[in-house]
Amino acid sequence: MNINDLLKDYLDYLEIEKNRSVKTRANYERYLKKFLSFSKISKPEQISQDLTRQYRLWLNRQFSSQGSDKTIKKNTQNYHLIALRSFLKYLSRRDIKVLPADKIELAKQSERQVVFLENNELERLLKAPSGDSFKDLRDKAILELLFSTGLRVSELCGLNRDSINLTAIAGKSGEFAVRGKGDKIRLVFISDTAKATLNKYLAKRRDVDEALFTRNIKNPAKSDNLRLTPRSVERLVKYYAAKAGLSKKVTPHALRHSFATDLLINGADIRSVQSLLGHSNITTTQIYTHITDKQLREVHQQFHGKRRK
């Protein structure tokens, strides 16, 4: 079969059989079309180890944008290679003779930098929205909920009013299910402080929109979609970080990092944190361990420099 036809079949398989989002499909299509444009091949058996090596070299020399002097980051290069490996696995499952996916190695990445907030920084940020207006109450509820649950910003923006059981919030449990990456459902938990701020915000709502967090407009009845976007949440987090006098680059994901490090510093085991974050792989969660390893710090303090006078 022609490789372009096989690519279309694969993308349909991703969307229907693997239940990947339309955005994921579009990303994989873009990555794989870039490979086909580079390789100029028409049949899957033409994909060789030498060809993929040349492609990796070509990717490594591409600039991140027109006029830029910076090349594509290693993790971005890996997105292209992961898409190609997934395509090869699909072809192999269809008994099409093709290069084994494990012959394509990913680029070695530098260790991921984790930005999280210290206790005093976190308190300053959470207290930054201090008024009683709709916007102040909404923004405070957003910040508290992000830190309390470790939600991704897309997960937060996708919440509806009926996503959260208000009866449960009023009780002791304060838990609800959220649909995360890969369409996986996990439980998240709301702190007492987050419950209180959320209830204050909801009491201020005068619209009937299903979204949990909405835009602040004068006449909500005249708008079809009030749902707050991830970009809007990113802007408001940045605004309150500046208001709180924080020099770090604070994003919604920094609050997710803060949620994870707070749990680990206070003694939570890494498997539980993995479940709470919704990570499929434990190695993703392990990026936090070098920051929160108290034992190493205590060993250093106890034994380092004892022979110095």
- Active site (annotated) includes residue 25: no
Residues 41-55: pLDDT tens digits?
Answer: 999 999 999 999 999
pLDDT at 183 over 70: yes
Given this model, what pLDDT does residue 227 score? 93
Give the pLDDT score at 68: 75
Chain mean pLDDT for the chain: 88
| Catalytic-labelled residue, pool 56, 85, 138, 152 | 152
Report residue 111's pLDDT band, with 50, 70 and 90 as the boundaries.
Answer: low
Q: Report whether 207 contacts 220 (CB < 8 A).
A: yes
The catalytic position among 74, 124, 161, 253 is 253
Note the pLDDT tens digit of each residue in 238-247: 999 999 999 9
pLDDT over 90 at 109, yes or no: no
Vertex 159 angle, CA 259 and 161, to 5°: 120
Among the listed residues 85, 140, 195, 256, the single catalytic one is 256
- pLDDT tens for 190-243 read 988 999 999 999 999 988 899 999 998 777 666 678 899 999 999 999 999 999
Task: Report whether 139 contacts 129 (CB < 8 A).
Answer: yes
Respond yes or no: is residue 181 known to be catalytic: yes
* Cβ pair 149, 189 in contact under 8 A: yes
Distance, in Å, from the CA atom of 220 to the CA atom of 9, rounded to the nearest integer, reads 43
Judge whether 152 counts as a catalytic residue. Answer: yes
Please confirm, yes or no, whether 172 is among the known catalytic residues: no
Q: What are phi and psi of 179, to 5 degrees?
A: -95, 115
DSSP per-residue codes, 127-152: HS--S-SHHHHHHHHHHHHHHHH---
Element (H, E) at 177: strand 175-179
Q: What is the mean pLDDT of residues 119-144?
A: 95
For 75, the token pair is: 């993790």
Q: Which of 124, 161, 181, 238 is catalytic?
A: 181
β-partners of residue 175 are 189
Annotation says 288 is catalytic? yes
> Which tokens go with 148?
């309390």
User: Chain centroid to CA 132: how far?
Assistant: 31
SS3 of residue 117 by DSSP? coil
Q: Is 0.85 surpassed by the pTM of this model?
A: no
Q: Which domains does the chain have, with CATH numbers?
A: 3-103 (1.10.150), 119-295 (1.10.443.10)
300 is catalytic: no
Amino acid at 109: Q
